Amino acid sequence: MKKPTKNTIAIIGGGGHALVVFEAAGAAGLKIAGCFDDDPNCSLKEYCGFLGDLESAGKRGEMAAIIAVGKVSTRKKLISALDGVFAGVVHPTSWTSPTCAVGEGTLIGANVVVQGRTNIGAHGIINTGAIIEHDVLIGSNTHVGPGAAIGGGVRIGANCLIGIGARVLPGVKIGAGATVGGGAVVVEDVPPHTTVMGVPARG
């Protein structure tokens, strides 16, 4: 495999979320070497080169990559299985406070706002139009869905899914592995590995 240039990355995944990552990376001025996916006819292949299956992504050498699979459980397996350098992608229409910390391999999508002193773990997804207020802690491999709003001081564990348009009120704690349904309004703490839905959100 040809050694990439400094601003070249590979995309691990070839479906719908991979297209979002591909377009964000392009808008950020990154060059895309191609994608890895178990389906050699994956939809992203139409837009970039195909580099091989998911297992071969772990043998990519010095090439940086981002995991571009939306499903949290699948991402968790890939994170455990794959070695190498991981790169984040930040869409140029987003705004992230300079006082924030963002882990490797994380996507900050289009029109996202991340306010001061927030810490986002590695391999996260802060998807299109999400708002993260000040002093929020988000664990690794957590997906904050499009249009979600996370209030100040919220604590979200690793491997969580915060659904499309969900609202999490300030100071709430969401345990690792929890799922918040789309459109839910979370007003109290959510235990680990629990699914909550509705207004107010209930298990």
Specify whether 177 is located in the same domain as 127. Answer: yes
> pLDDT value at position 5?
45
Q: Is residue 106 included in any domain, yes or no?
A: yes
Specify whether 125 is located in the same domain as 188. Answer: yes
Distance CA 79, CA 124 (A): 11
pLDDT-derived band at 6 (thresholds 50, 70, 90) equals low
Q: What is the CATH number of the domain that holds 51?
A: 3.40.50.20
Distance CA 63, CA 85 (A): 7
Specify whether 26 is located in the same domain as 62. Answer: yes
Range of the domain at 114: 88-195
- Among 91, 134, 143, 193, the one annotated catalytic: 134
Q: What is the pLDDT of residues 129-152, one digit of tens each?
A: 999 999 999 999 999 999 999 999
Active site residue 143: no
Averaging pLDDT over each range in 35-49, 77-91, 136-150, which range is the top one? 136-150
End residue of a domain, out of 81, 112, 135? 81
How many domains does one find in the chain?
2
Q: Is residue 175 included in any domain, yes or no?
A: yes
End residue of a domain, out of 65, 81, 97? 81
Specify whether 50 is located in the same domain as 119. Answer: no
Task: Point out which residues pair with 156 in neighbouring strands.
Answer: 138, 174
Specify whether 94 is located in the same domain as 178. Answer: yes
List Cβ neighbours of 203 (8 Å cut-off, separation of 6 or more).
190, 194, 195, 196
Q: Is residue 172 included in any domain, yes or no?
A: yes
List Cβ neighbours of 32 (8 Å cut-off, separation of 6 or more).
8, 9, 10, 11, 22, 25, 26, 48
> pLDDT value at position 1?
26
Read off the DSSP letter of residue 86: B
Q: What is the CATH number of the domain that holds 173?
A: 2.160.10.10
Specify whether 66 is located in the same domain as 103. Answer: no
End residue of a domain, out of 81, 97, 115? 81
Specify whether 40 is located in the same domain as 16. Answer: yes
Indicate whether this model's pTM tops 0.85. Answer: yes
Q: Contact 146/163 with Cβ under 8 angstroms?
A: no
96 three-state secondary structure: strand
Q: Is residue 50 included in any domain, yes or no?
A: yes
Q: What is the mean pLDDT of residues 169-184?
A: 98
Asked if the model's pLDDT at residue 102 lies above 90, the reply is yes
Q: What is the mean pLDDT of residues 166-190?
A: 98
Specify whether 188 is located in the same domain as 111. Answer: yes
Determine what percent of the chain is predicted with pLDDT higher than 70: 97
Alpha-carbon distances, residue 46 vs 18, 50, 122, 168, 171 (angstroms): 12, 9, 28, 38, 44
Q: Is residue 181 included in any domain, yes or no?
A: yes
